[in-house]
Amino acid sequence: MGATDGQMDLLRFATAGSVDDGKSTLIGRLLYDSKSIFADQLEAVEKTSTDKGHGYVDLSLLTDGLRSEREQGITIDVAYRYFATPNRKFIIADTPGHVQYTRNMVTGASTADLGLVLVDARHGLTEQSRRHAVLLSLLRVPHLVLCINKMDLVEWSQETYERIHSEFTQFATKLNIPDLEVIPISALNGDNVVDRSENTPWYHGPTLMHHLEHVHVASDRDLVDTRFPVQYVVRPKSDEHHDYRGYAGLVAGGVLKKGDEVIVLPSGMTSKISGIDLFDREVDEAFPPMSVTVRLEDDVDVSRGDMIARVKNAPKPSQDIDAMVCWMTNEPLRPRQKLAIKHTTRTGRAMVKDIQYRLDVNSLHRDQEAGELGLNEIGRVQLRTTVPLLCDPYSKNRTTGSFILIDEATGVTVGAGMINSGS
């Protein structure tokens, strides 16, 4: 537990781009070059490539999961893939690039530390690549990599690379992208993916794999503002632990320490942390994303959905929520609509008070006349909730700043929300 000396850490990244940009080939290449592909998988791919009459081993076949996709030659959902190098394990959320699958991109980006956008060097930035960058920025994915692929088809032209690079940088000034890397690659041949390419002597930046291995993600968490949403109350009711009462949850922000003075929301009761348990051991402190059980000195009434925070640094319970919402179902979102809402470990109902504007994710234009949000559309929405939410702005904390909306009749998740503010 604790420091990762000599241990692997974890990077989650989301890939965006279409089949035509060579996204599957790039992922196949990362898996292949990091030796994460087994002989039986490779044999199957070789055989299929031969059957299809390809003159090369089609690495994109590695990532085409379902029969329906293989038949249609498309990707229909978020797929998760895994590979590791000696120092880091990687989880890829591979999201389809088609226009109708914004919701999958939002889903994949919601847990990502890094976003990887792929463009075809011959075509430069497209509406789609701009949209991917907007979504990654909206979801506050802290690191972004733009891979300019198929450089072999533009004769490794430095001019082409510079043009796309500056065009993207210009566009990115309107977005919130704290960290950007632009890498010229050929996924098919492997240039600058794992090994540095001799075809790009003018490029002095890292290869893609080197960047993925070394990008610093530990500072992306909020270690200042203590937030502990209570998930589950542990009461053994056995002779041995007759009086044990612990509050189990995953630390969403800040550092909890034994002896800390804390406040329980929404009740406002205060107490001190008498102990923090990690299975059968006590630990001195807990930080994100540890799952622990917190004990308090006083017998205060705490239950699931409550939040433990610091007395002088706690979110204000609010029922009026201002948020960006990505709508994920065919039936549009309209004012006065009632939905179930889940925020941290709290569940309640919400009513749409107002849809302020719809955001055009290609031009960033705000359409104030929209009045509703259709499938895969994103807009600024005012909600009134039945229970107070213990929230922070999404820009401050992705856990306490996010929520999902659920259709009460079908039970389906229909919206994803990122909170601007609560009042």
Partner 1 sequence: MTNTHVDYQLSQLDQLEAESIHIFREVAAEFEKPVLMFSGGKDSIVMLRLAEKAFYPAKIPFPILQVDTGLDFPEVMETRDNWVNRLGVRLVVASIDDAIANGVVVDDGKTSRNRMQTGTLLNAIEENGFTAAFGGGRRDEEKARAKERVYSHRDEFGQWDPKMQRPELWSLYNGRLHAGEHMRIFPISNWTELDIWDYIGREGIEIPDIYFSHQRRVFERDGMLMTETPLNPLRAGEVAEERTVRFRTCGDITLTGCVESTASTIDEIIEEVAAARVTERGATRGDDRFSEAAMEDRKKEGYF
Residues 111-150 that bind partner 1 (CB under 8 A): 111
Q: Which stretch binds partner 1 (CB under 8 A): 124-132, 202-210, 235-243, 264-272?
A: 235-243
The pair of structure tokens assigned to 368 is: 């104030």
Contact letters for partner 1, residues 90-109 (x by CB under 8 A): -x-----------xx-xx--
Query: Is residue 423 part of the contact set for partner 1 (CB under 8 A)?
Result: no
**What minimum distance in Å lies between the beta carbon of 393 and partner 1?**
15
**What minimum distance in Å lies between the beta carbon of 244 and partner 1?**
6
Cα Rg, the chain, nearest whole Å: 24
Query: Is residue 160 part of the contact set for partner 1 (CB under 8 A)?
Result: no
The residue among 204 and 281 lying less far from partner 1, judged by its C-beta, is 281
Could you tell me if 380 and 364 are in contact, meaning their C-beta atoms sit under 8 angstroms apart? no
Which of helix, strand or coil describes residue 171?
helix
Query: Is residue 39 part of the contact set for partner 1 (CB under 8 A)?
Result: yes
Q: How many binding residues for partner 1 (CB under 8 A)?
A: 79
| Token pair 């490794």 in the structure block, residue | 156
The residue among 182 and 302 lying less far from partner 1, judged by its C-beta, is 302
CA 271 to chain centre: 34
Sheet holding 143-149, edge to edge: 79-85, 88-94, 9-16, 114-120, 143-149, 179-184
The pair of structure tokens assigned to 59 is: 């690495």
The residue among 148 and 323 lying less far from partner 1, judged by its C-beta, is 323
Contact letters for partner 1, residues 259-298 (x by CB under 8 A): ------------------x-xx------x-xxx-x-----
The Cα–Cα gap between 381 and 358 comes to: 9
Q: Which stretch binds partner 1 (CB under 8 A): 51-59, 168-176, 197-205, 410-418?
A: 410-418
The residue among 121 and 286 lying less far from partner 1, judged by its C-beta, is 286
Query: Is residue 2 part of the contact set for partner 1 (CB under 8 A)?
Result: yes
Q: Which stretch binds partner 1 (CB under 8 A): 13-21, 122-130, 147-155, 401-409?
A: 401-409
Query: Is residue 77 part of the contact set for partner 1 (CB under 8 A)?
Result: yes
The residue among 267 and 303 lying less far from partner 1, judged by its C-beta, is 303
**What minimum distance in Å lies between the beta carbon of 82 and partner 1?**
5
Query: Is residue 238 part of the contact set for partner 1 (CB under 8 A)?
Result: yes
Query: Is residue 213 part of the contact set for partner 1 (CB under 8 A)?
Result: no
The residue among 244 and 357 lying less far from partner 1, judged by its C-beta, is 244
**What minimum distance in Å lies between the beta carbon of 197 and partner 1?**
28
**What minimum distance in Å lies between the beta carbon of 326 and partner 1?**
9
Query: Is residue 34 part of the contact set for partner 1 (CB under 8 A)?
Result: no
The residue among 148 and 215 lying less far from partner 1, judged by its C-beta, is 215
Strands 143-149 and 179-184 come out as: parallel
The residue among 77 and 320 lying less far from partner 1, judged by its C-beta, is 77
CA nearest neighbour of 208 among 117, 135, 130, 124: 117
Cα–Cα–Cα angle for 218, 324, 171, rounded to 5 degrees: 70
Q: Which residues contact 409 (CB under 8 A, 6 or more apart)?
A: none
Q: Which amino acid is at 31?
A: L
Q: Which amino acid is at 137?
A: S
Ramachandran sector of residue 316 (left: φ over 0; alpha: ψ -120 to 50; beta: rest): beta
Could you tell me if 16 and 115 are in contact, meaning their C-beta atoms sit under 8 angstroms apart? yes
**What minimum distance in Å lies between the beta carbon of 253 and partner 1?**
12
The CA–CA distances, whole Å, from 330 to 68, 326, 337, 377 equal: 22, 12, 15, 10
Query: Is residue 420 part of the contact set for partner 1 (CB under 8 A)?
Result: no
Q: Which amino acid is at 291?
A: S
Query: What φ, ψ does residue 209 adopt, rounded to 5°?
Result: -65, -40
| Token pair 């039970």 in the structure block, residue | 411
The residue among 173 and 219 lying less far from partner 1, judged by its C-beta, is 219
The pair of structure tokens assigned to 117 is: 């956008």
Q: Which stretch binds partner 1 (CB under 8 A): 3-11, 153-161, 205-213, 364-372?
A: 3-11
Other CB atoms within 10 Å distance of the CB of residue 387:
16
Contact set for partner 1, span 314-373 (CB under 8 A): 328, 340, 342-343, 345
The Cα–Cα gap between 61 and 65 comes to: 8
